[in-house]
């Protein structure tokens, strides 16, 4: 499949990929278990707008999208979908589509404008999310709430650089979580602390493509910052899980977990032992980095320790005890997944801030085969076979029920309104990926409980910004 994406029709995608799925049954005839939940997902910064309305504080994304020269192609989310002002009609639209679950994030600076544990709470922000939850429940839509989807309050970044000061950040995030549990926990039963810690760590504190934009070109310590950020995320998640279990779960009867993103990696050359090891190591550097401490209560994967050495922070005995105690509290594994890649072991010496394990990521293998047709984004290939393998990998390693918290794709050429409306490419993508879920459940024994499509609304895209120095695969 070495053709360009523009040469693929929707039917070509189905034919080329279904032939490799091991069945002849049409996608629309495959079944999912009774009780399987269908939902949609969004993020506060990407849809709410109302950037300074009703007392909302500034987030790091509000700052990042207004930098000069622009790091986001001159775009921002000051208005975006205006969900803050159009929420009732948005919920009505969800109801008309038969949506069962709505996963949304709360804007920390809308709740606590200055972010800190001693800073005042914004009652108008509380009122907005309370009203959203009530509207959802009135429409028989279950709310699933993410506390952090990349939009830290600018004020805590100004005070101590947010995630880079683990002690200060943990105290502030714990207070923010407590406020949310107190005001919304009577109606919200599923909580997610963080969306995609890998992205928070690498894309925001090494590649510089996402807020706050740290990278080598901005004179930041990219050899150590991402690992410090990840360390902070892990420990602050455990703090919140412990808090909820001790003070809120007995009465509210909910659960707290985390959402991890990840590609599935195939070896660039399946006959090459180094490439096979590279593919597995890439999974560990991407998913095991957070999954092993949070779901297993263990240290970082041994391969990471051996490769990163003193770049990787050390858990204290107190930290280890916290992780062991809270790992069982993470009752489900939130999975964001879009595509798969090949992993090739590099023989050249790595850079001093390498984060991959000295692995090259590519969409084409040693035989010139593409991992799947290209979507509207160069990196996002239609590869349901990799999705099924990822489901198996996560289930085998962590043994938690999986919720697909994000999955979807843009169509090639969808800036053309006709393509965006007649989106057969996207429909086929969804069909093939749902097919992969069904096969993983019935043929591989994986437990998958729900699927949330990304995204409910066309929104401000966070994957188009141009970094000052591009170092993305």
The answer to whether the CB of 273 falls within 8 A of the CB of 343 is: no
The answer to whether the CB of 339 falls within 8 A of the CB of 286 is: no
Distance CA 58, CA 279 (A): 40
137 Cβ contact list (under 8 Å, min separation 6): 143, 187
The answer to whether the CB of 26 falls within 8 A of the CB of 390 is: no
Selecting among 168, 196, 225, 414, the annotated active-site residue is 196
Angle between helices 123-138 and 166-184 (to 10 degrees): 50
* Tokens coding 278: 């590279």
Per the annotation, the verdict on 196 as an active-site residue is yes
Check whether the bond before 455 is cis (ω within 30° of 0). Answer: yes
The answer to whether the CB of 21 falls within 8 A of the CB of 439 is: yes
H helix intervals, 185-272 = 197-198, 204-205, 225-243, 249-252
Distance CA 190, CA 450 (A): 13
Phi and psi (nearest 5°) for 387?
A: -60, -45
> For residue 328, what is the DSSP state?
G
Phi and psi (nearest 5°) for 145?
A: -115, 130
Distance CA 196, CA 153 (A): 18
The answer to whether the CB of 190 falls within 8 A of the CB of 248 is: no
Which element (helix H / strand E) includes 258?
strand 255-261
Measured distance between the N- and C-terminal CA atoms of the chain, rounded to whole angstroms: 20
Selecting among 48, 361, 406, 414, the annotated active-site residue is 406
Going from the C-alpha of 358 to that of each of 215, 221, 274, 310, 344, the distances in angstroms are: 18, 19, 11, 17, 9
Per the annotation, the verdict on 406 as an active-site residue is yes
Tell me which residue has tokens 């010139």: 368
Phi and psi (nearest 5°) for 373?
A: -60, 145
361 forms bridges with which residues in the sheet? 343
CA dihedral 458, 460, 463, 468 (to 10 degrees): 160
> SS3 for 249?
helix
Q: Which residues does the annotation mark as catalytic?
A: 196, 406
């Amino acid at each position: 499949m070495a053709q360009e994406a523009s040469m693929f029709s929707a039917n070509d995608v189905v034919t080329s990929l279904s032939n490799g799925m091991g069945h002849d049954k049409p996608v629309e005839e495959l079944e999912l278990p009774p009780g399987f939940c269908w939902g949609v997902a969004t993020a506060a910064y990407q849809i709410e707008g109302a950037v300074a309305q009703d007392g909302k504080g500034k987030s790091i994304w509000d700052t990042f999208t207004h930098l000069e020269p622009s790091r986001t192609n001159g775009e921002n989310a000051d208005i975006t979908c205006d969900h803050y002002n159009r929420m009732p009609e948005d919920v009505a639209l969800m109801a008309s589509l038969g949506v069962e679950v709505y996963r949304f994030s709360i804007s920390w600076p809308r709740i606590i404008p200055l972010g800190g544990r001693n800073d005042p709470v914004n009652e108008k922000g509380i009122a907005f999310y309370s009203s959203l939850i009530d509207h959802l429940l009135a429409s028989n839509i279950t709310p699933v709430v993410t506390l952090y989807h990349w939009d830290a309050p600018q004020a805590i970044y100004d005070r101590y650089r947010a995630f880079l000061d683990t002690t200060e950040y943990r105290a502030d995030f714990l207070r923010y979580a407590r406020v949310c549990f107190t005001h919304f926990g009577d109606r919200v039963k599923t909580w997610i602390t963080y969306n995609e810690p890998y992205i928070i760590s690498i894309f925001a504190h090494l590649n510089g493509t996402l807020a706050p934009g740290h990278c080598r070109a901005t004179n930041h310590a990219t050899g150590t910052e991402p690992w410090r950020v990840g360390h902070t995320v892990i420990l602050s998640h455990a703090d919140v899980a412990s808090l909820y279990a001790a003070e809120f779960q007995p009465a509210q009867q909910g659960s707290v977990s985390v959402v991890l993103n990840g590609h599935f990696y195939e070896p660039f050359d399946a006959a090459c032992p180094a490439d096979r090891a590279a593919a597995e190591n890439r999974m560990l550097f991407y998913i095991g980095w957070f999954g092993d401490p949070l779901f297993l209560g263990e240290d970082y994967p041994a391969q990471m320790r051996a490769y990163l050495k003193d770049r990787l922070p050390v858990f204290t005995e107190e930290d280890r005890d916290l992780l062991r105690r809270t790992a069982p509290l993470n009752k489900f594994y939130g999975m964001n997944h879009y595509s798969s890649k090949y992993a090739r072991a590099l023989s050249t010496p790595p850079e001093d801030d390498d984060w991959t394990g000295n692995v090259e990521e590519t969409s084409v293998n040693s035989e010139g085969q593409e991992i799947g047709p290209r979507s509207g984004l160069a990196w996002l290939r239609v590869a349901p076979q990799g999705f099924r393998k990822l489901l198996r990998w996560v289930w085998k390693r962590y043994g938690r029920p999986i919720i697909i918290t994000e999955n979807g794709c843009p169509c090639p050429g969808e800036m053309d309104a006709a393509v965006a409306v007649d989106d057969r490419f996207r429909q086929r993508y969804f069909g093939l990926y749902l097919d992969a879920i069904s096969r993983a459940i019935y043929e591989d024994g994986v437990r998958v409980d729900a699927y949330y499509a990304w995204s409910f609304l066309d929104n401000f895209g966070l994957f188009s910004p141009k970094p000052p120095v591009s170092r993305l695969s």
